[in-house]
Structure 1
């Protein structure tokens, strides 16, 4: 969202920290502007570490010509967020900390970055077989709806669910991080660019022409290493 009158991202981040968090112990600038992926609507993701704040919080502001998302932590609250991100397999904060450019540091950032990098390198917890089978069952159910539906409006939303669940299944069964929205395809591409291209092609083919075949083949391919589709014999909660 930078314009002719805006400061650069780093200049804006420095001004923001100097103005609003002058006594913080550390600060990082993260997000798309750091990765070189910014667009006309990109904002600045700024992570603050300040021992004086009582609770972690997030706030959205427009300052210094930029929309800013600020994530404020005291010197231990970030660890709880790290743990929660690991549990949901979406490492939002560890990723921001890892990629972040240091704007201010009183000697704490190196250790926090080290913790974030260790989390990212380790990956999420492995799915147990019972959960894999449960996910297979629900993907099978949606796939059957997709195959049988003749209602275009319904098919669009069935396909959305199928894309979310099949991408999650592919990544998690390979012990990879997942994401939402734009991070679905980014996560797939980071792990397996060829599969990501197949994934996009399959769903793009359906959305543009209504052809379901590529999506059906893709989902079958995702499930195949774990026994394929699952309906007969599946049970959940039976004593």
Structure 2
């Protein structure tokens, strides 16, 4: 497709801003092209700050040889996204702002970048003991289902659920940001490369061979510092 015939990312992003947001107060190019991780299917992530916009929005384009995702904010709406990302422990917008290359700046970008950097440095809110116990219970429940299941199709989906639950548990109990999709493994790698390789190997062996032992051992090891599997005495909403 034509939009895969990509030229220079920064040039394309600046042309895009000039054409579509000529009067904006500031703009940043973020995403995989900035981190040096672009692939043939990568797009351009562009954050626009325009105080004439009443509300924030997201829109997709194909322009200047690229697929482009643009995230438009006025000079206050981005703060709500920072706050929401902090609460869900997935710092998508702060990370884009922090890593972003400046495409245009009328003197507002430095302060917004400082806000993003401070939030990223603080890390996500610490889980309460009640939250840890609740997550521990749901991991236990999924693990028991996994151990007892003999239906291959069901095992696949249980394994997927376990991978999500366990990765979240490891990261959040260690005050680390989490992620979605490819950002799950990136978050794990940033925290602990050795554990991440064990995690990947355990699930890879199961998907290839059906052997469950390494996943079971991995989950047991994760839960061990918190007393192991947790079922008896769990209550919610009582």
TM-score range, shorter chain: over 0.9
Aligned residue for 1:26?
26
Residue pair 1:58, 1:70 contacting (<8 A) in 2 also: yes
Instruction: Tell me how large the CA RMSD over aligned residues is.
Output: 1.3
Aligned residue for 2:132?
132
Query: Post-superposition shift, 1:4?
Result: 8.9
Against the structure 1 CA distance between its residues 4 and 222, is the aligned structure 2 distance closer, same or farther, given a 3 Å change threshold? closer
| Structure 2 unaligned residues grouped into runs of 5+ | none
Residue pair 1:2, 1:40 contacting (<8 A) in 2 also: no
Q: Compute the TM-score of the two structures, normalised by the length of structure 2.
A: 0.98
Residue pair 2:32, 2:42 contacting (<8 A) in 1 also: yes
Question: Which secondary structure does the structure 2 equivalent of 1:127 belong to?
Answer: coil
Aligned residue for 2:175?
175
Q: Which moved more, 1:226-235 or 1:93-102?
A: 226-235
The reply to whether residue 74 of structure 1 matches residue 74 of structure 2 is yes
Residue pair 1:34, 1:101 contacting (<8 A) in 2 also: yes
Query: Post-superposition shift, 1:6?
Result: 3.5
Query: Post-superposition shift, 1:17?
Result: 0.3
Query: Post-superposition shift, 1:5?
Result: 5.3
Against the structure 1 CA distance between its residues 225 and 20, is the aligned structure 2 distance closer, same or farther, given a 3 Å change threshold? same
Residue pair 2:4, 2:65 contacting (<8 A) in 1 also: no
Aligned residue for 2:58?
58
Runs of 4+ residues deviating >6 angstroms: 1-4
Against the structure 1 CA distance between its residues 165 and 5, is the aligned structure 2 distance closer, same or farther, given a 3 Å change threshold? closer
Residue pair 2:3, 2:63 contacting (<8 A) in 1 also: no
Residue pair 2:3, 2:62 contacting (<8 A) in 1 also: no
Q: Compute the TM-score of the two structures, normalised by the length of structure 1.
A: 0.97
User: What pairs up with 1:8-23 in 2 under 5 angstroms?
Assistant: 8-23=8-23
Question: Which secondary structure does the structure 2 equivalent of 1:68 belong to?
Answer: strand
